Structure 1
Amino acid sequence: MNLILTVFEIVAPVFLLAAVGFTWVKLGFEYRLQFVTRFATMLAMPSLIFVALMQTEIPGSDLSRFTMATLVANLLLVVVFWLIVRGLRLDPRTYLSPLIFGNTGNLGLPLCIFAFGQIGLGYAVVFLSVTALFSFTYGIYLVAGKGAWGQVARQPMAWATILGAVFLWQGWQTPTFLTNTLELLGQMAVPLMLVTLGVAIARLTSHSLGRALWLSALKLAVCFALGWGIGRWFDLGTIAFGVLVLQICTPVAVTSYLLAERFGADSDAVAGMVMVSTVLSVAALPAVLAIIL
């Protein structure tokens, strides 16, 4: 009973905030998705990432091992889902990106914060940063058929990760007034991301829900197995292991839909996967948490 209550206390705020965004749009109220998304990715998220890395108390050896585990996890996801897509004769431009990349920002970060606290946030930020680098480069290549390597240099989240890692490595701290300012900006990131996720889901439409259902279930099963296996292989600690499994199991990212729409892939199919996998995560992620807690 205590475990059920603990899991509920972790996941309820996350999905309730997403429900606020969903309901807001369905009631016909205005929500400027482009502005909020840009504000979150240009200011709030980089502030959260930088401060989380600068202030993390994770030992350097543990952080290095977790980073390596995250890199291996992303590479294995690419290989396994490439084989699955080829075996099922699906269009790689449409299906590879949503199968590989999860919603490690909007959904993963808040869950890790509530489940594992400040140390969990440090690990979750590392996972998000590695995934974002993959998404801005290889992810765009998958859909567009061409590289977008210069995108990384223009992403504030990438620079926040680099600066945060340098400050952590050197043991530096920003002046108190600046740290407080960045913390306030960073505190906006989680509610903004969750409400925005609900808004994005509310505005998606799709007629490709049948295939999306079994592909979403397949993605979850493969990701859970890989996350569990890699976490044990690298002998990660309890919190690092939990964050790795939870982050890798997050549903399809909304950015996969935006890329499909922008570069002419089957955006309707990807929208179906975003919707179905997110709904599926309402039951699946609490179950994952119950297993790893």
Structure 2
Amino acid sequence: MNLLPTVFEIVAPVFLLAGIGFAWVKLGFEYRLQFVTRFAMTLAVPSLIFVALMKTDIPGEDLSRFTVASVAAHLAMTGVFWVIARGLRLEQRTYLSPLIFGNTGNLGLPLCLFAFGQAGLGYAVIFLSTTALFSFTFGIYLVAGKGAFGKVLREPIVWATLFGALFLWRGWETPVFLTNTLDLLGQMAVPLMLITLGVAVARLTTHRLGQAFSLSLLKLGVCFVLGWAVARVFSLDAVAFGVLVLQACAPVAVTSYLLAERFEADSDAVAGMVMVSTALSIGAMPLILAIIL
């Protein structure tokens, strides 16, 4: 396999679509971020997750092992970054959430799909769902000082994962007309998420780029090591191994900025981490792919 063309074919569509969103805003065109995000997270992404799980041919034992590995990876990142934040005297309610939670949806899902195909997508949605569960509960607690466990039950992504897992376990399938409809909705998810990522980054502003750069590099290095170590401990196969490492290394999620803004943490600092870590991923993700492929 000629590695460089392969890596380029995987990452180029991802960052070109994000670049379209970025350029769209910079050119002054309208983009209703709230509407598109709500549509994607309510219909397109849940449809993608449900169909991906229902159609996957990954053995149940492998999916179970990967699920436990995903939870372990999040717990490991939480523990390590808590120690680092304490050691560097960083304000935990501002910095812990962006250090722990990556953009496993907008960026992680497309990369895993293009790199590892349908099997990679099946694993990637498990990691995304784990991130969502943690961020909707513990993540909100970190920033707001209070839990939001009821929010989990109102998230379509959570129900799509649960029903997808149930259909996979029981070997059920939806009627063909419904499967085709959900499949079409799901196909919108990847371009919508990537273009929206570019739009969101284009609208962010910050005056803290120096600190953001050092913390983004720190996040990337720690997450790569932890992702690799957890994947080894759980003896994941090649595809599951690659997905876990890629998802663990995803840049800071835009939702971390939105939470900081909503609950009056230092949103300027988080905006800087979103911008810088996303920019770093343009170079980092091809390098990580070259290592794990």
Q: If the TM-score is normalised by the length of the shorter chain, which range does it land in?
A: over 0.9
The runs of 5 or more residues in structure 2 that have no matched partner are none
Amino acid in the other structure paired with 2:288 = V
Q: How big is each residue's C-alpha offset from its partner over 1:64-122, in whole Å with a ceiling of 9 and x where there is no partner?
A: 11111001000011000000000000000100000000000000000000000000000
- What does residue range 113-152 of structure 1 map to in structure 2 within 5 Å? 113-152=113-152
Matched, 1:97 2:63: no
Distance in 1, Cα, partners of 2:232 & 2:77: 16
What secondary structure does 1:68 align onto? helix
Residue aligning to 1:207: 207
Q: How big is each residue's C-alpha offset from its partner over 1:250-283, in whole Å with a ceiling of 9 and x where there is no partner?
A: 0000000000000000000000000000000000
Measure how far apart 1:129 and its partner are: 0.4
Compare 230-239 and 1-10 and name the one that shifted more.
1-10
Matched, 1:12 2:12: yes
Residue aligning to 1:290: 290
What secondary structure does 2:95 align onto? helix
Amino acid in the other structure paired with 1:157 = I
**Which aligned segments of 4 or more residues in structure 1 are displaced greater than 2 angstroms?**
none
Amino acid in the other structure paired with 2:222 = V
Distance in 1, Cα, partners of 2:43 & 2:171: 23
Q: How big is each residue's C-alpha offset from its partner over 1:105-153, in whole Å with a ceiling of 9 and x where there is no partner?
A: 0000000000000000000000000110001000000000000000000
Q: How many residues align?
A: 293
Residue aligning to 2:226: 226
- What does residue range 164-175 of structure 1 map to in structure 2 within 5 Å? 164-175=164-175
Matched, 1:235 2:235: yes
Matched, 1:41 2:47: no
Amino acid in the other structure paired with 1:196 = T
Residue aligning to 2:246: 246
Q: How big is each residue's C-alpha offset from its partner over 1:4-30, in whole Å with a ceiling of 9 and x where there is no partner?
A: 110000000000000000000000000
Distance in 1, Cα, partners of 2:156 & 2:230: 29
Residue aligning to 2:107: 107
Q: How big is each residue's C-alpha offset from its partner over 1:159-213, in whole Å with a ceiling of 9 and x where there is no partner?
A: 0000000000000000000000000000000000000000000000000111100
Distance in 2, Cα, partners of 1:101 & 1:270: 12
Residue aligning to 2:179: 179
Distance in 1, Cα, partners of 2:186 & 2:81: 34
Distance in 1, Cα, partners of 2:63 & 2:121: 12
Residue identity over aligned pairs, in percent, reads 76
Distance in 2, Cα, partners of 1:107 & 1:275: 13
Distance in 2, Cα, partners of 1:80 & 1:12: 32
Residue aligning to 1:198: 198
Distance in 2, Cα, partners of 1:128 & 1:57: 19
Distance in 2, Cα, partners of 1:69 & 1:14: 26
Question: Alignment RMSD, CA only?
Answer: 0.6
Measure how far apart 1:41 and its partner are: 0.2
Distance in 1, Cα, partners of 2:168 & 2:249: 28
Measure how far apart 1:2 and its partner are: 1.4
Distance in 2, Cα, partners of 1:54 & 1:66: 17
What secondary structure does 2:188 align onto? helix
